[in-house]
Every structure is written in structure tokens, then in C-alpha cells.
Amino acid sequence: MEQIITITDAAALQIKDMMKQNEEENAFLRVAIKGGGCSGLSYGMGFAHEVEPGDSELEQHGIKILIDKTSAPALKGTVIDYKQSMMGGGFTIDNPNAIASCGCGSSFRTATESGTPEEC
């Protein structure tokens, strides 16, 4: 199966740590996009326990990942990383499909999907 997203080593360590802290070691990591944000689409990551019809299932770094069929095309080729800085740490998402994004960095749109823009 083709990889839709890539999770870096740094992001995998952080995700595993979060799973352990939240006692979610057996959960899936669900990565999705949804309408909203100032550019129209925003990213979502969370823990899930159920595989939904149409989900793509991946595994990287021992993490089981789910991506729904609606989100998959807009996430294809995306790299999820985790960066630490003096201001703290956070996930970064490098999506080659995003043609516009806003200053907050968590909202975007693609050439084929504009979503539902909101105020920042």
C-alpha cells in the first residue's frame, strides 16, 4: 500500500509519548482534514479505537495510523514532524498539496479543495 503520509522519527517519539501519557498505547492515530481555519481546511490528529469503513490503515514506527477516504487525497505526500524550540515544541505538517496557508500554519487549502474559511 502506498504511503499517504510520512511520520518522522521525532514525531513518532512524541506521538508514542503522548499515547503512553494518555494510556492510549493500543489506539490508532487518526489523521484527518476538516473544514475551517482561515484558509478553509485544518488538520486534525487524535486517538481512535475503531476503523471506519473506507479508512486507509498504515503503520510507521510501530504506530497504527488511520486516514479517512475523504482526507487521503489532500494529505498525499504529507510529512508530519515534531520540532522543539525555546518556545516549546509542536508538530509541523508539510503538505505538498497546500497551495495557500495562513499565518498560524494550521490552516490550508488545496487546488481542488477550498474547505470553509473562517476568521482567524
**Predicted pLDDT at 73:** 92
- Which of the two residues, 43 and 8, has the higher pLDDT score? 8
Q: Dihedral angle at the C-alpha atoms of 97, 107, 38, 51, nearest 10 degrees? A: 100
* pTM for the predicted model, two decimal places: 0.80
- Which of the two residues, 57 and 3, has the higher pLDDT score? 57
All structural domains of the chain with their residue ranges:
5-110
What is the mean predicted confidence (pLDDT) over 72-86?
A: 91
- Which of the two residues, 30 and 102, has the higher pLDDT score? 30
Is the pLDDT assigned to residue 38 strictly greater than 80?
A: no
**Predicted pLDDT at 23:** 96
**Predicted pLDDT at 35:** 75
CATH architecture of the domain covering 5-110: Sandwich (2.60)
What is the mean predicted confidence (pLDDT) over 44-55?
A: 94
**Predicted pLDDT at 22:** 95
Strands (E), 17-112: 28-35, 41-48, 56-60, 63-67, 78-85, 88-94, 98-101, 107-110
**Predicted pLDDT at 7:** 97
Distance CA 107, CA 120 (A): 9
